[in-house]
């Protein structure tokens, strides 16, 4: 099948998505205004896989709903392949394969017919849509459940089926809101592989919402970190981590109450994020090693169950840049 959005030379080097100064507020159920996005700027080049990383409520989903024309910015501009989609929001739907955070509209359909229906609604002729659905069922390993309604599948299988529907019809841009939430590791790799194939084969541009730091580090070319409606950083995962490269992350798991009278334990306690028995401390590389040595040779060792010393993750970048939430996923 020809790729309906085959990108022309005019746009081959350009920003496929260009967001400038976007502000968006909405009213919550109590009727109070909530500012979801403030002064968002973002460019996404052709064939790039760019992620929006941030905790719940950071404004990621609101931003992507504006990219796909479901919501209009209060201020600012969004262009998609050179088209002003604030002025013409319905154009987005013709370029973008969108996966919403939840897809209850597909619940009553079987996996195959959900994919086929989506393909047809994207303009793929009926017979070809059947073939597209069969190919996607194979690609994402959904053969065992292809005839079952989505509502009767496990959360992970249902999510995978919705990803398959989002990929139907080969759009030049994919906007995927948490595509791998609830998936097991093998299905997650399957989705990452499917995205990579489309990028290589068709130059597909991908915007992917995640709050999983592992996904962000392994899959994304660039990461825009959102916090409280603002993009607080946007760069490659490597460069973002380089920005806080002096720090390493020391994780300690205590078997018994830690001996606070030990000077090293007291120093670490004052800087640790504590979750039950688990402490997480970010500290400069030069301090971390000797501190760990002192723990392992001193009285604290007897109380310690486990420890890890790791290079910074995107979560550390998020925290170093002033992020305040702690609900990013680390697995």
Partner 1 sequence: MTTPPTAPEIVGDVEGAAPLAPPRGPSLPSAIGAVLAGQLARARVARGPLLFVATVQSVGILVLMRGVVSPHQRATASAVVAGATVLVVAFVGLNLLAQRIGALKAASALDYYGALPIAPAAFVLGVAGAYAAFTVPGALVTAVVGVLLWGLPAGGIWVVLPVCVAAGLALCGVGAVIGLAMPRPELATVAGQLAMTAILFLGVIPAARFPAGLDVLRHLAPGTLAVDALAAVLHGTGSVGGVAWRLLVTAAYGVVALAVAGRLFRRALDR
Q: Which of residues 4-23 bind partner 1 (CB under 8 A)?
A: 4-5, 7-8, 10-11, 13-16, 18
Q: What is the DSSP string of 300-314?
A: GGGGEEEEEEE---H
Distance of alpha carbon 13 from alpha carbon 148, whole angstroms: 43
Nearer to partner 1 (CB atom), residue 292 or residue 317: 317
Beta-carbon count within 10 A of 221 CB: 15
Q: What are the structure tokens assigned to 266, written together?
A: 């007291």
Nearer to partner 1 (CB atom), residue 179 or residue 258: 179
Q: Does the protein bind partner 1 through residue 83 (CB under 8 A)? A: yes
Q: Among 100, 142, 187, 191, which residue interacts with partner 1 (rule: CB under 8 A)?
A: 100
Nearer to partner 1 (CB atom), residue 33 or residue 257: 33
Q: Among 53, 68, 174, 206, which residue interacts with partner 1 (rule: CB under 8 A)?
A: 68
Nearer to partner 1 (CB atom), residue 231 or residue 295: 231
Q: Write out the binding residues for partner 1, residues 169-198 only, by CB under 8 A.
A: 171-172
Instruction: From 122-130, 179-187, 191-199, 250-258, give the range in contact with partner 1 by CB under 8 A.
Output: 122-130
State in angstroms the smallest separation of the CB of 251 from partner 1. Answer: 24
Nearer to partner 1 (CB atom), residue 99 or residue 268: 99
* DSSP H or E segment with residue 185: helix 185-202
Q: Does the protein bind partner 1 through residue 57 (CB under 8 A)? A: no
* Number of residues near partner 1 (by CB under 8 A): 71
Query: What Å distances lie between residue 240 and 41, 49, 313, 314, CA to CA?
Result: 17, 16, 9, 7
State in angstroms the smallest separation of the CB of 282 from partner 1. Answer: 15
Q: Does the protein bind partner 1 through residue 109 (CB under 8 A)? A: yes
List of residues 6+ apart from 22 with CB closer than 8 A: 37, 39, 40, 41, 63, 66, 73, 75, 76, 77, 78
Q: Write out the binding residues for partner 1, residues 239-278 only, by CB under 8 A.
A: 239
Q: Does the protein bind partner 1 through residue 60 (CB under 8 A)? A: no
Q: Does the protein bind partner 1 through residue 130 (CB under 8 A)? A: no
Are the C-beta atoms of 148 and 158 separated by less than 8 Å?
no
State in angstroms the smallest separation of the CB of 292 from partner 1. Answer: 29
Query: What Å distances lie between residue 223 and 134, 149, 188, 203, CA to CA?
Result: 33, 35, 19, 19
Nearer to partner 1 (CB atom), residue 102 or residue 264: 102
Distance of alpha carbon 151 from alpha carbon 328, whole angstroms: 28
Distance of alpha carbon 45 from alpha carbon 220, whole angstroms: 13
Q: Write out the binding residues for partner 1, residues 220-239 only, by CB under 8 A.
A: 221-222, 224, 230-236, 239
Among 273, 291, 282, which Cα is nearest to 312's? 282
Q: Does the protein bind partner 1 through residue 279 (CB under 8 A)? A: no
Sheet harboring 278-284: ordered strands across? 273-275, 278-284, 247-254, 304-310
Nearer to partner 1 (CB atom), residue 290 or residue 322: 322
Q: Does the protein bind partner 1 through residue 43 (CB under 8 A)? A: yes
**Rg of the chain in Å (alpha carbons):** 23
């Amino acid at each position: 099948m020809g790729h309906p959005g085959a990108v022309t030379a005019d746009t081959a080097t350009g920003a496929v998505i260009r967001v400038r100064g976007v502000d968006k507020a909405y009213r919550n159920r109590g009727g109070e205004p909530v500012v979801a996005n403030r002064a968002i700027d973002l460019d996404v080049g052709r064939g790039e896989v760019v992620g929006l990383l941030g905790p719940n409520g950071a404004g990621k989903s609101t931003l992507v709903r504006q990219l796909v024309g479901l919501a209009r910015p209060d201020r600012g501009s969004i262009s998609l392949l050179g088209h002003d989609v604030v002025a013409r929001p319905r154009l987005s739907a013709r370029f973008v394969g969108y996966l919403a955070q939840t897809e209850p509209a597909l619940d009553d359909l079987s996996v195959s017919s959900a994919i086929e229906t989506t393909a047809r609604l994207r303009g793929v002729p009926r017979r070809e849509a059947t073939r597209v659905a069969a190919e996607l069922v194979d690609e994402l390993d959904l053969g065992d459940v292809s005839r079952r309604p989505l509502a009767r599948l496990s959360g992970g299988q249902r999510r995978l089926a919705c990803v398959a529907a989002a990929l139907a019809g080969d759009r030049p841009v994919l906007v995927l809101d948490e595509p791998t939430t609830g998936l097991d590791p093998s299905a997650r790799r399957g989705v990452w592989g499917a995205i990579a194939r489309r990028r290589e084969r068709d130059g597909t541009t991908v915007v992917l919402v995640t709050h999983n730091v592992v996904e962000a580090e392994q899959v994304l070319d660039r990461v825009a970190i959102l916090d409280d409606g603002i993009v607080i950083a946007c760069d490659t995962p490597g460069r973002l981590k380089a920005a806080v490269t002096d720090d390493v992350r020391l994780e300690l798991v205590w078997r018994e109450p830690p001996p606070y009278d030990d000077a090293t334990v007291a120093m670490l306690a004052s800087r640790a994020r504590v979750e039950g028995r688990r402490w997480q401390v970010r500290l400069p590389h030069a301090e971390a090693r000797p501190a760990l040595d002192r723990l392992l040779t001193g009285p604290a060792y007897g109380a310690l169950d486990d420890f890890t010393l790791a290079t910074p993750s995107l979560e550390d970048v998020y925290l170093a840049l002033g992020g305040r939430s702690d609900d990013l996923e680390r697995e």
